[in-house]
């Protein structure tokens, strides 16, 4: 089998990039030891192209989320995970190499996907719990994912591959995407964030009044697109009847997520939509209902809230340690506990609540 036949997936990606950049020779960064042989970098390669429009930037593309060589997966429709990531990073006029932090970040995305099996899709977001460039004072602490506007999906011999552009975002932009939608927030920001280029030095887009107003209007009119939220700190303790008393049911949330859940209650339940909170061991489905009640199984709880209770809880859920008693439902308490943010070594770097 010749070399061209076994690199058809790789060739398809390069062909898409050639349509944009012609004969430009990219800066390419391969791995010395393949991941399958014990190497630390899961992606086989990263290529960075110099782009000039709409502003000078590096356009980086990954090689490794899709099947680059022979077809191995049983899914005939998609190649590997079905996507490759791109990343547009602001470039200075005299810069001849893409920033190493951006290349490392893409490899970290590879480690996350390869180890967890979780894949990205357009509209997704990811909290980095700190600067996306380690050690910098950037306000960009999270990532959003959209279809790369210049790279349409391609069908390779190994299946379909989509190109998802990674965009650095701030903490409040992340909150806005959760409580409204990723596409809505980015769409409102197109003029101020041309090409969705990531610039570590930029300020929050929500400081621009017109964008903040559009986001608020979108939330009020459309509600939230976030119907599922992964929550690290989530517990349910059903109430118990005793001889002369009854202990209340307790739903425990971490402070980091409490404020977000409060906003999502307005954008979901008060718009007639469900909201699912999920941890490794438990799912709590919050539903709008005529009255407040719950059904509990071993790993799933369905908590129905009437409009008044949902509104009350949305106002009381804040990112701080608290014990919330609901006016119309004395049998259930929401316990908000502190969240400890840890670094990669398990050291606590900050506490919320």
Average pLDDT, the chain: 91
pLDDT tens, position by position, 264-288: 999 999 999 999 999 988 999 999 9
pLDDT tens, position by position, 8-47: 999 999 999 999 999 999 999 988 776 766 678 899 999 9
pLDDT tens, position by position, 173-195: 999 999 999 999 999 999 999 99
Inform me whether the pLDDT recorded for 4 exceeds 50. no
> How far apart (Å, rounded) are the C-alpha atoms in residues 238 and 243?
17
Inform me whether the pLDDT recorded for 321 exceeds 70. yes
Residues present in the chain in total: 353
Q: What is the mean pLDDT of residues 104-121?
A: 93
| Residue 241: pLDDT band with limits 50, 70, 90 | low
Inform me whether the pLDDT recorded for 70 exceeds 70. yes
State the maximum Cα–Cα separation within the chain, in Å, rounded to a whole number.
82
- Residue 230, strand partner residues: 278
Enumerate residues 6+ apart whose C-beta is below 8 A from 115. Answer: none
Q: What is the mean pLDDT of residues 314-338?
A: 90
pLDDT value, residue 243: 58
> How far apart (Å, rounded) are the C-alpha atoms in residues 81 and 67?
8
pLDDT value, residue 3: 47
Model confidence, pTM: 0.86
SS3 call for 11: helix
């Amino acid at each position: 089998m010749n070399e061209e036949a076994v690199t058809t997936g790789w060739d398809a990606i390069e062909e898409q990039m050639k349509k944009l950049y012609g004969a430009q020779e990219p800066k390419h960064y391969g791995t010395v030891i393949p991941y399958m042989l014990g190497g630390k970098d899961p992606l086989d390669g990263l290529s960075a192209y110099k782009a000039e429009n709409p502003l000078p930037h590096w356009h980086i593309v990954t090689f490794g989320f899709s099947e680059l060589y022979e077809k191995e997966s049983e899914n005939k429709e998609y190649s590997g995970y079905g996507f490759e990531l791109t990343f547009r990073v602001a470039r200075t006029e005299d810069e001849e190499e893409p920033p190493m932090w951006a290349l490392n970040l893409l490899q970290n995305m590879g480690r996350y996907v390869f180890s967890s099996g979780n894949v990205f899709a357009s509209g997704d977001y990811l909290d980095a719990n700190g600067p996306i460039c380690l050690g910098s004072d950037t306000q960009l602490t999270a990532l959003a994912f959209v279809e790369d506007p210049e790279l349409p999906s391609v069908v390779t011999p190994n299946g379909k591959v989509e190109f998802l552009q990674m965009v650095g975002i701030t903490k409040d932009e992340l909150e806005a995407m959760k409580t409204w939608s990723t596409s809505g927030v980015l769409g409102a920001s197109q003029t101020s964030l041309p090409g969705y280029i990531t610039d570590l030095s930029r300020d929050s887009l929500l400081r621009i009044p017109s964008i903040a107003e559009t986001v608020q209007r979108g939330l009020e009119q459309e509600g939230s697109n976030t119907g599922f939220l992964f929550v690290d700190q989530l517990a349910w303790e059903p109430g118990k009847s005793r001889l002369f008393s009854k202990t209340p049911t307790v739903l425990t949330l971490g402070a980091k997520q409490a404020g977000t859940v409060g906003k999502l209650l307005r954008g979901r339940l008060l718009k007639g939509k469900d909201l699912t909170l999920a941890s490794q061991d438990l799912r709590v489905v919050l539903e709008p209902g005529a009255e407040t009640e719950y059904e509990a199984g071993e790993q799933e709880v369905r908590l129905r809230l009437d409009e008044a209770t949902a509104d009350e809880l949305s106002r009381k859920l804040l990112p701080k340690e608290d014990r919330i008693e609901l006016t119309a439902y004395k049998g259930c308490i929401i316990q908000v506990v502190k969240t400890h943010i840890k670094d990669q070594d398990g050291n606590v770097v900050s506490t919320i609540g």
